[in-house]
Every structure is written in structure tokens, then in C-alpha cells.
Structure 1
């Protein structure tokens, strides 16, 4: 029982030092709600394990201001997490410390069309660079990829008409021996949405097409990890003819030359009948998602989806089943933001599990 109590106390001390970079033993006691001697004993144990160290900083003391206190902080031995995104533009790798700060960043560009060997080399090089620059051990990696992901193996899955075909890529093997978590980029972008509801669909409309289904606060990935792959959903095509969603952009001449990737600039510059056809196709996909997933709302993200939000909203307003539809709120790098958040949670959990 005593060992269990000590382990729980050490966990509380570690978590407190993850929330605040430095604390005295008295501040730890107040933060956690334990006695000062108990806090002091926990600091001693964690110091002996090399996880906590005296920073050398002292509180003001003397002349009626009480005893001088020493500040303690986590040591570099608690390590960092690797956060990675793999996209048509390239590989971005960062190291994240237990405070959620980015300690190193590297970017490797990728040629088009992407080749698995080049992407693998870019991933390996970027990860090695940031891990070396961080100067502390990497404990795990979280990866977001612009391709479907096999949930059992973490390998990228080759699907027809995907604009970023690197289905032979195996991030788990490349980043071994780290523990590696891999998921689709759209799922990570959905999880980065601020103040997201517990039930919603995140529609990604960019060079590629995707959808994340969040139910009861959890992303639903399906049996093989392919839930939300909307490219081949049948929807309204030009002239009212039913067609797979991705094929409509080929018929409208909106694909990049020699690729199935959607030409974002031309989509945003479209008007008249072309824009009406795009909006009608998106509305048909939204109708299918609403019918099958019953989301509370639909969030539209990606590089061109939010730019057509008014037309999409007007078209979906004529559907029999309606849900609120809005543009994604997460700006900047939403995929990387979602990956970072997961990497931070897993890093903190790994430190607690290994040392408390």
C-alpha cells in the first residue's frame, strides 16, 4: 500500500511539473494538496531517478520573508515526442517537449508525383535531424499522412484516384524502434478543431478529398481504417448524372495535369456552371454523410472547401435532412496541430507510466 501511495504521489508531482516548468517543494505541496514533507520525499525519489533536478534558482528569503526555497524542474531525461506530417508538399517533423513546446523542426520537400523511396528517405532524414537537434531522447512518434492508413499496421493504403500514392510507405518500420502512431491527416485536422462537438463530420476539400467522422468524441476509423474515404461516393455530376465524387473534377477539367490531384486555384477561380456543378457535388456528399453518420454539424475544411462555403450551405439547405454547416475554425497547420496534441498527451502518459 505504501508503494502505491508513493507511486501516486510521484505521478502527481510529475504532472504538476508538466503544467508549470518550475516549482518549489512548498508550491508542489500546495498545488497537489499534500504535506510539504510528502512533497519533499517525492522530489527526492524523482531526483534520484534523474527525472527532477534542482534548477539552482532560489526564492527570496530572509528578513521576515520566510525560508529560502529551491526551484525544481523536470530534467531532459523525460524526453520528447516526434510529431510528423507526410503530405504532397513534403515531410514536416518536429520534436515536442512535455510542456507542449516545439524544440526542433525540419522540412523535406517531395517531388511530384511522390515516390515511396523518396518519401521514406525524407521521413527518415527529417526525423533524424530533429531528434539530434532536440538533444534529448525521443520516446515516441505520432504521424499524420495524406493517404488512408491501415489501422492494424500503420502502413499507408493505396487507393485508386488518390492524389498522393505512397501506399508502400511504412512509417512504423521507418521510425523504429520508437513507438509509432499513424493516422490519416483529415482525422488529425478534425481533432484540432477548437470547441468541437462530440458528434460531427469534418469534410476535407483540397487537392485530395476526405472526411473524418467523430462520434461520442472519438474518430471512427472503420474496420480497416478507411471510414470517411469519400472520393468514390456517388453524387450529382454535371447534367445531373450520378458519378463518383472524384471523377467529377476530371470531367470539369479541374485536375492537375498528369495527376488525380484537384487543381485548387482553378476550383477557387471557377464561376457559373462549373462552380454550380462543384457545389452540387459537395452537397450530394454532405447528404450521404448526414444520412449515414448523423452528425450534429458538418465542418468544411481544406484548401478550397471554406472558399465555397456559402454556395455549399445554400445547396445543403435544400436537403430533406439538414444540419448546421460551417467552415473549419482551426487555422495555420490543422493537421500538425492535431498531431502535436496527440504527441504531447502520449509523451506525458509515457513518462508517468515509466517512472511513477
Structure 2
């Protein structure tokens, strides 16, 4: 029982230092609600384990202000985490400390279409740059491709616009512990004030959908839930057409690729936008019928710009749900990856054996 109490006290001390960065033993006692001797013993144990150290800073003390106090903080040995995104524009890697600060960032551009060997090299180089000389514990990766749940490898599907192939982030970043998932899932998890049940429709160069149910992303048996590119919807002339092929028929693909030409799409005329709005509405109807979300969030590089037309086209849907534009900021995928990386880093620090 005593060992359990000590372990819980040590965890509270670590969490307090994660929140406040530096505290004296007296401040730790007040913050946690324990006695000063108990706080002091915990600091001693954590110092012996290499997780906490005296910063060398002191409180003023003296002349009626009490004893001089020493400030303690987490040591660099608590480690860092990598937050990585793999997208058409390139690979972005950030190094996060246990406080959630980004202490290094690297970007590597990749060609279009992406070659697996080039993406692997960019991933390896960016990660090595940001983690150089730092004790990295883990990496969280967001990729613009489906991710197989069992292996963590990226999956290449027909008409996938980025042609990354079956990249294996865990093997490339070994020996780090690696968690990889589809970029749309991370963007959904970064959505501020998200409800427990919603669908996040990503409409950009690629097409994707995240299904969040009971607060959790539903990935499906193989990690392919939400792959909407081949859903049948209304195409030009009202014909039943796979969603991805609508853009080919409208001449809105990048040359030599199935990637959607966002600039050309946003500059299209009213008739083309009406067709796109109807196609998106058909996809929304399918998502609502199967997943029963409380709302559908529209994100991506062109979806929010067509929200009014999408709402009009979705008006006759038999089951109505609110549609709104995503509010996750300028880098929603990286925001979701960062949050997961920080959570996992802190959990790893708290689980260090005593």
C-alpha cells in the first residue's frame, strides 16, 4: 500500500511540474494538497530516477520572507516526442517537449506524384534533424493515405492521388515507438469543441471522411473506414458516378494525377459548382444514413468555400443534419498529431519504472 501511495504522489508531482514548469517543494505541497515532507520525499525519489532536478534558482527568502526555497523542474531526460505529417506538399516534422512546446521543426518537399523512396528519405531526414541530440521517445504520424490498423503501413488504394505506396513509418523511424493514422482522422480529433458523434468531410486535393462515434474515431476492420472516393453519388447530368470520377468528368484533376486541382475548382463557374454541390450532398446522404452523426463538419482546401452550395444541394435530403465549416485552424492535421504526441509523451514519462 505504501508503494502505491508513493507512486501516486510521484505522479502528482510530475503532473504539477508539467503544468507549471518549475515549483519549489512548498509550492508542490500546496498545489497537490500534501505535506511539505511528503513533497520533499517525492522530489528526492524523482531526482534519483533522473526525472526531476534542482534548477539552481532560488526564492528570495530572508528578512521575514521565510526560508530560501529551491526550484525544481523536469530534466531533459524526460524526453521529447515527434509530430510528423506526410502530405502532397511534403513531410513536416516537429519535436515537442513534455510542456507541449515545439522546440524544432523541419520540412522536406516531395515531388508530384510522390515516389515511396523519396517520401521515406524525406521522413527519415526530417525526423533526424528535429530529434538530433534529443532523447526522442516516440513519434506520431499523420499521412494523406489510409493506414492499415494491424501493421501501421500506409495503404495504396485505386485512384489515390499521392502514390505514396505501402510506406512503413514504423520501420523508417525505428527504434522509436510509432503511431500512424490517416490525416483526416487527426484533423477531426483536433476540431475544437467537437461533439461525441460527428462526421468530418475532408474536401481538398484528396477526398476523405472521419467518423467519430462516442468520442472515438471509427477506423474499420482494416483502417479504411471513411474512404469516400468511390461512393456512388450524383455526377454530371444526374448520372450515378463514383465521387472521385465526378472531378475527372468536370476536368478538375491535376494533369497525370487523380488529385483535384483546387485552384481550378474554386475558379469554376456556377454550373460546375452546382454539380459538385450535388455530388457532395450525395456523399453526405450516404454518411448520414450509415453513421448517424449529429453534424457534418466540412474541411479541406475547397469544401468550406462551397459550403453554401452544398447546403442548398443537401436541402432535399430525407435526413437532415447541421452542416458547418471546420474550425480547426490553419494546420488541423498537425494540431491533432501534436496533441496525440504530447499525450503519449506525458504518459510515457509517468510510466517510467520507479
TM-score bracket for the superposition, by shorter chain length: over 0.9
> Post-superposition shift, 1:63?
1.4
* Separation in structure 2 between the aligned mates of residue 315 and residue 272 of structure 1, nearest angstrom: 13
* Separation in structure 2 between the aligned mates of residue 314 and residue 238 of structure 1, nearest angstrom: 17
Tell me what 1:91 maps to. 91
Secondary structure of the structure 1 residue equivalent to 2:351: helix
Matching residue within 326, 331, 334 for 1:336 = 334
Tell me what 2:65 maps to. 65
Tell me what 1:262 maps to. 260
* Separation in structure 2 between the aligned mates of residue 264 and residue 61 of structure 1, nearest angstrom: 62
Tell me what 1:9 maps to. 9
> Post-superposition shift, 1:322?
0.5
Tell me what 1:108 maps to. 108
Q: What's the TM-score once normalised by structure 2's chain length? A: 0.99
Tell me what 2:172 maps to. 174
Show the 5 A alignment for 1:316-327.
316-327=314-325
Tell me what 2:157 maps to. 159
* Separation in structure 2 between the aligned mates of residue 153 and residue 32 of structure 1, nearest angstrom: 41
Q: Report if aligned partners of 1:155, 1:167 keep a CA contact under 8 Å in 2.
A: no
> Post-superposition shift, 1:127?
0.5
State yes or no: 1:138 paired with 2:148: no
Q: Report if aligned partners of 1:25, 1:69 keep a CA contact under 8 Å in 2.
A: yes
After superposition, the C-alpha distances for 1:102-142 in whole angstroms (9 at most, x for unaligned) are: 0110000001110000000000000000000xx32000000
After superposition, the C-alpha distances for 1:62-85 in whole angstroms (9 at most, x for unaligned) are: 111111111100000000001100
Matching residue within 175, 180, 201 for 1:203 = 201
* Separation in structure 2 between the aligned mates of residue 347 and residue 293 of structure 1, nearest angstrom: 32
Secondary structure of the structure 2 residue equivalent to 1:210: strand
* Separation in structure 1 between the aligned mates of residue 165 and residue 176 of structure 2, nearest angstrom: 21
Tell me what 2:309 maps to. 311
Q: What's the TM-score once normalised by structure 1's chain length? A: 0.98
After superposition, the C-alpha distances for 1:133-165 in whole angstroms (9 at most, x for unaligned) are: xx3200000000000100111100010001012
After superposition, the C-alpha distances for 1:248-277 in whole angstroms (9 at most, x for unaligned) are: 000000000010000000111112211110
Secondary structure of the structure 2 residue equivalent to 1:23: coil
Tell me what 2:31 maps to. 31
After superposition, the C-alpha distances for 1:275-319 in whole angstroms (9 at most, x for unaligned) are: 110000000000000000000000000000000011111221221
- Following TM superposition, where does structure 1 have runs of at least 4 consecutive aligned residues deviating by more than 2 angstroms? none
* Separation in structure 1 between the aligned mates of residue 309 and residue 290 of structure 2, nearest angstrom: 23
Matching residue within 286, 292, 295 for 1:294 = 292
> Post-superposition shift, 1:7?
1.0
State the Cα RMSD in Å: 0.8
After superposition, the C-alpha distances for 1:32-91 in whole angstroms (9 at most, x for unaligned) are: 111110000000111111111111111121111111111100000000001100001000
* Separation in structure 1 between the aligned mates of residue 134 and residue 347 of structure 2, nearest angstrom: 17
**Any unmatched runs of 5+ in structure 1?**
none
Q: Report if aligned partners of 1:189, 1:337 keep a CA contact under 8 Å in 2.
A: yes
How many residue pairs align between the two structures? 354
Q: Report if aligned partners of 1:120, 1:169 keep a CA contact under 8 Å in 2.
A: yes
* Separation in structure 1 between the aligned mates of residue 180 and residue 39 of structure 2, nearest angstrom: 38
> Post-superposition shift, 1:355?
3.9
Matching residue within 265, 277, 280 for 1:279 = 277
Q: Give the 3 Å change call, closer, same or farther, for CA 355–31 of structure 1 in structure 2.
A: farther
> Post-superposition shift, 1:342?
0.1
Tell me what 1:53 maps to. 53
